[in-house]
Each structure stands twice: as C-alpha cells, then as structure tokens.
Amino acid sequence: MKTLQKSGGMAALYMATAHLIGIVIFLAILDYLNITDPAQKLAMNIEKQTVIFSTNLIMYVLFGFALIVLSLALYERMKSGAPALMQVGTAIGIIWAGSLIASGMVANAGLATVVTLHAKDPAQAVLTFQGIETVANGLGNANGEILGGMWTLLVSLAALRARGLPKALNILGLLVGTIGIITIIPALTDFTGLFGIGQIVWFIGLGIVLLRSNSRATA
C-alpha cells in the first residue's frame, strides 16, 4: 500500500513534467500547431525526427504507463469510500492509458516509415503521413479529451465522497475534468489547452499529497 502510494505520487509528478515538456517542445519550440501545410509538416518531422520521436515517447508512451500506476494508486486509496466510482474511473483511466501508449507508438512507427518513403516518393510520403497523423491524433484524443476529462472527473467525485484527497484539489479536478469532457464538442476543442494546463496543476497536487501521505504513514 505504502509503496503503491509513493509510486503513484512519483507517477503524477512525472505526468505533470511530461505535459510541460510537450507544451514547450511542440508549441513553443516547434510551433507545431501553426504548421498547416502537410508537406511542410512532414519536412519538419523528418528534420526533427529525433526530437519528435523522444517527445512522443515521453508524453504519450511513458505517460501512459505512469497513468496506469497513478490510477491503481488512487483506486487503492479510495476504493473503500467510493467503490463504484473508483471501479469505473480506474477502468477509464486504463483505457486512456492504452489509447495514449498506442498513439505514441503509431506516431513513432509512422515517422520511421515516412522518412524512408520520402527518399523515394515525396508525394506518397505526404499522403501516408497524413493518414498516420490522423490515426495517432485520434488515439491521442486530439479531437477532444473525453477520456482524460471523464477520468479526472470521476476520481475527483470519488475523492470527495471518500475524503481521500484535499477538498481544494477535488474541486480543481472537477473543474478540469468538466473542461476536458466538453472539448469533445467541435466548437469547444480549443479548450484542450486549458484542460492540459489544469491537469498539470492537478497532477502536481496529487503527487505532493500521495508522497506526503506515504511519508507520514512510514513515520
């Protein structure tokens, strides 16, 4: 129990860090969202393939594994106070984790494919890249954070019922989770960035609480 809580705390802090790394690299350094021409986007992926491969690994694949650890830690913490909510929430959390891991793996495998193809047929490489990117984005919830939002909302509701986390952290989680859910609406997809920033703060709070509770239990 104590080891799982500590692992969950470390996983939460890693997830906050991975979010920040993704924001800095994809938005600030690469300006990825503002590159709309498929050929230019592919050229940038080829030129920066090591950076993009590493970032996909950090913020999707490893993030997904950390999410599994955090989900199990939170389930163990609050299963007695809100069993039904935590069962559903944990199932959604693991589904989300699998989706993110798949997204990162598809993106990185596709990157290797289009790099090789581009040397032989640039036009076909662009078309292939567009298909791969669409699949990776779908798995990564780029069209709406329904999985992440629902998981955050259910965990926060369970924590309120079980009194397993500080009330202020639960209220933040309810707000962040709701924002994530509504991003599934096409007109509100732009709120995805707000969801991501909110989750960074929530993950940091979770990490601190889980690690502190573990230290107190040990003492």
The string of pLDDT tens digits covering residues 128-164 is 999 999 999 999 988 889 999 999 999 999 999 999 9
Share of the chain above pLDDT 70, in %: 97
**pLDDT higher than 60, residue 219:** no
**pLDDT higher than 60, residue 216:** no
Phi, psi of 9 (to 5 degrees): -65, -45
Give the residue among 133, 109, 102, 15 at the shortest CA–CA distance from 53: 109
The torsion region of residue 35 among left (phi > 0), alpha (psi -120 to 50) and beta comes to beta
| pLDDT of 214 | 56
- The size of the chain, in residues, is 219
Q: Is residue 67 part of a domain?
A: yes
Residues 57-98: tens digit of each pLDDT: 999 999 999 999 999 999 999 999 999 999 999 999 999 999
Q: Is residue 153 part of a domain?
A: no
Quickly count: other Cβ atoms within 10 Å of residue 81's Cβ: 15
CA angle 132, 15, 46 (to 5 degrees): 30
Question: pLDDT-based confidence at 217, cuts 50/70/90?
Answer: very low
Q: Is residue 81 part of a domain?
A: yes
Chain Cα centroid distance, residue 90? 15
The pTM of this model reads 0.92
Q: Is residue 189 part of a domain?
A: no
Q: Is residue 73 part of a domain?
A: yes
| pLDDT of 218 | 36
What's the domain count of the chain?
1
**pLDDT higher than 90, residue 5:** yes
Q: Tell me the residue range of the domain where 42 lies.
A: 2-140+203-214
Question: pLDDT-based confidence at 1, cuts 50/70/90?
Answer: low
Q: Is residue 174 part of a domain?
A: no
Question: Per-residue pLDDT averaged across 186-202, rounded?
Answer: 92
More reliable by pLDDT, 50 or 218:
50
| pLDDT of 97 | 97
Q: Is residue 164 part of a domain?
A: no
**pLDDT higher than 70, residue 25:** yes
Does residue 49 contact residue 111 with C-beta atoms inside 8 Å?
A: yes
Q: Is residue 160 part of a domain?
A: no
Does residue 55 contact residue 26 with C-beta atoms inside 8 Å?
A: yes
Quickly count: other Cβ atoms within 10 Å of residue 200's Cβ: 18
More reliable by pLDDT, 214 or 84:
84
| pLDDT of 32 | 80
